[in-house]
C-alpha cells in the first residue's frame, strides 16, 4: 500500500499521479504499485513539487509495518533505535512579558517564573 499526500503542488503533478494511484481526496493518493514504480513516482514528485510539500508513506516489513519520506516539510523523520519518529521543529517560547497581562504585580510575576 502506498499513500502520497501533496500540498500546494502543481495540478499537472496531481494528474500524473492519477495514472498510477487513486485520488481519494484532493491531494491524497493511494494505491498498490510495486517498489520500483513507487520510487519512480516519488522521484517525479520531488522533481515537480516546486514550492509545495509532499509526503510518501508505504507498507514495508519492519517493526512499524510502514515507512515514510517527506519533501519540504518542517517535520522530519528521525530513526530512534530502529523506529522512525517525526521530529517537530521547536517553537521559541514567548517572552514572559509578552504573555503576562499588564496589571499583575511584580511579586506575582516573580512567583510564576521562579525569580527571586
Torsion of CA 35, 32, 29, 82, to 10 degrees: -50
Q: Is residue 108 part of a domain?
A: no
Q: Is residue 105 part of a domain?
A: no
pLDDT per position as a tens digit, 20-64: 999 999 999 999 999 999 999 999 999 999 889 999 999 999 889
The CATH number assigned to the domain holding 40 equals 3.30.70.240
Q: Is residue 49 part of a domain?
A: yes
CA atoms within 13 A of residue 53's CA, in its CB half-sphere: 9
Q: What is the pTM of this model?
A: 0.73
Percentage of residues of the chain with pLDDT beyond 90 = 54
Q: Is residue 17 part of a domain?
A: yes
Q: Is residue 107 part of a domain?
A: no
CA atoms within 13 A of residue 70's CA, in its CB half-sphere: 14
Domain that holds residue 77: 2-87
Q: Is residue 8 part of a domain?
A: yes
Report d(CA 13, CA 50) in Å as an integer: 10
Q: Is residue 38 part of a domain?
A: yes
Q: Nine-digit cell at 41?
A: 513516482
pLDDT per position as a tens digit, 62-104: 889 999 899 988 888 888 888 888 888 887 766 655 555 555 6
Contact 4, 47 (CB under 8 A): no
Q: Number of folded domains in the chain?
A: 1
Q: Is residue 116 part of a domain?
A: no
Amino acid at each position: 500500500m502506498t499513500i502520497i499526500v501533496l500540498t500546494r503542488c502543481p495540478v499537472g503533478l496531481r494528474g500524473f499521479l492519477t495514472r498510477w494511484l487513486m485520488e481519494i481526496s484532493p491531494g491524497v493518493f493511494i494505491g498498490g504499485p510495486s517498489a520500483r514504480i513507487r520510487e519512480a513516482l516519488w522521484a517525479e514528485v520531488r522533481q515537480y513539487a516546486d514550492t509545495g510539500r509532499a509526503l510518501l508513506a508505504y507498507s514495508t516489513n519492519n517493526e512499524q509495518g510502514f515507512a515514510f519520506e517527506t519533501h519540504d516539510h518542517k517535520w522530519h523523520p528521525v530513526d530512534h533505535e530502529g523506529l522512525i519518529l517525526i521530529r517537530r521543529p521547536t517553537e521559541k517560547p514567548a517572552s514572559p512579558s509578552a504573555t503576562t497581562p499588564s496589571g499583575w504585580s511584580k511579586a506575582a510575576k516573580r512567583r510564576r517564573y521562579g525569580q527571586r
